[in-house]
Every structure is written in C-alpha cells, then in structure tokens.
Amino acid sequence: LEFRRVLFRSLSAAATAYWLAEDGSGTGSVQTFGQVSVSPHRLAAFTDVSKQLLAQSSVDMEGVVRGDLASILAIAADKAVIEGSGSSNQPTGILNTSGVNSVTFGAAATWAKVLAFVSAVEQGNADAANMKWISTPATKAAWKGAVKVSNYPSFLLDDNNEADGYQFLVTNQVSSDKVVFGDWSQAMFCTWAGISVLVDPYTQATSGLVRIVADMYCDVGVRQAHAFCASTDSGAQ
C-alpha cells in the first residue's frame, strides 16, 4: 500500500524592494521557495474487551473504549508535533527539526534568557500574534518564583501567565522540562482520512473477546524552522 507524499510550499527568501529616481527602472527580484514534505505515519492502538462486560455493563462500554482510544491517539499525536523523533516510524517534531533556534539555560532561567528566545524568533520575522510559550508545570512553577531583577517583585512569568507579553501554556508533553517558544501557525499537523475505528468480534472470538482497533495516518511539517526557539536543557532548574 503506497501513500502519496504531499509537498507544502515555504518561503525561504523574500523579494527585494528598491528606492528609485523619478524615471528610474526597477530591478527585478523573486522570492525563493522551499518545500516541506509530509507523508503518512501510522499511529494505532487497540484493546480487547470481553463480551460479558459488554453484555452486563449499564453504560455504553464500547463507546467508552472508543473514546479512550481516540484520546490516546490524540495525546500521542500532540507529543509528535512537539518532539517526534523522526525515526522508528515517528514524524519529526519541532524539537528535532533542523534550523530551529536554541537557547541553553545552563542554570536557573533568567530574564536575559527569556529575552533571548523572543529575540531569536523575532529575527526570523515570526508573527507575534501567534507566538506562545509551552513547557511543563515544573517550569511554570519555577518561572512564577524567579524574579527579573534581584530584590524587586517582578517575575519571569506574571499573574496573567505571560512571559514578555506572550502566553505561557502548560503541558506534560515536553520531556526534561524543556521550553519551546514560537509562532505555532508555522507547525502543521496533517492527517489522512481522520481516525478509523474497527470493532473486530472475530480475532479473539474463542476467548470471548471483542477487539477494538483505532488508527490514523498523520505527519508533522514545520514550514519555517526559524519561527521557533527551543531550550537544550531544563527551564525548571
């Protein structure tokens, strides 16, 4: 079974504008375009449920199991967007995409390091409206208590859960308390045909079990790597 590879265009270099005399002739310039290639990666999960449980339960157990499998797939897909390894059949996530900016804390996070993230992404002409932070609850707690300047009650993460004016989102999907900042509109999550759910009453029939299988085909594509900046170490030191 072969799936068609899909290519997305990305802008690698912009055109050039010129100042001209009243009767001057313009100099032609063109944009340079790159390609982001995505292709399906299969993500699947299944579970076996006894026919007796399905018969005796007062709730729709099949529906409960289907919902749980869909949730598991969604969590795995979310993690792939952030840090998919690009190997062992996984998509390549933001943390493993070539060209993404990086900052190393080396110790407890400081205001200078926070500004280094923002500066790196802004130099890539990212869209400020879509720029956000993500990290773990441990990083959030550390930044809530870390002052910008000694002996002054102004913290890296303010009461609005913003750092330098950008929203800070919390997730357990980032390993090692790393921090990611960027324009999230530049990360694409692509799917083919959505999530399929198969109820199989035959494979485990002799054991009185019904197998419920959920799978999907998806991939991750980062259109502009320089629109992101990720830490190489923990933001919760």
Tell me if 75 sits within 8 A of 195, measured CB to CB. no
The predicted pLDDT at position 34 comes to 61
Give the highest mean pLDDT range of 44-58, 62-76, 82-96: 82-96
Count CB-CB contacts under 10 A for residue 141.
Answer: 13
Question: Dihedral (C-alpha) 201, 203, 208, 209: value to the nearest 10 degrees?
Answer: -70
pLDDT tens for each residue of 6-28:
555 555 556 778 788 888 777 76
Q: Which of 1-15, 50-64, 70-84 has the highest mean pLDDT?
A: 70-84
Lowest mean pLDDT among 24-38, 109-123, 125-139, 211-225: 24-38
What's the whole-number mean pLDDT along residues 198-210?
94
Environment class of 6 (CB within 10 Å of its CB; exposed 0-12, middle 13-18, buried 19+):
middle
| Predicted pLDDT of residue 3 | 45
β partners of residue 196:
215
Whether 1 has a pLDDT exceeding 80, the answer reads no
Section 127-153 average pLDDT = 93
Q: Is the pLDDT of residue 35 over 90?
A: no
Phi, psi angle pair for 130, to nearest 5°: -105, 5
At which residue do the structure tokens 């079990």 appear?
209
- pLDDT, position 25: 77
pLDDT given at position 45: 95
Question: What residues pair up with 48 in beta bridges, in sequence order?
Answer: 211
At position 190, the amino acid (one-letter code) is C
Confidence of residue 146 (pLDDT cuts 50, 70, 90): very high
Q: Decide the pairing of beta strands 180-183 and 131-135.
A: antiparallel
How many CB atoms within 10 Å of residue 117?
Answer: 27
The partner residues of 135 in beta bridges, in order of sequence, read 170
Q: Is the pTM of this model over 0.85?
A: no
Query: Residue 30 burial by CB count (10 A; 0-12/13-18/19+): exposed, middle or buried?
Result: exposed
Read off the pLDDT band of 193 (50, 70, 90).
Answer: confident
Residue 136 burial by CB count (10 A; 0-12/13-18/19+): exposed, middle or buried? Answer: buried
Cα–Cα distance, 221 to 188 (Å, whole number) = 5
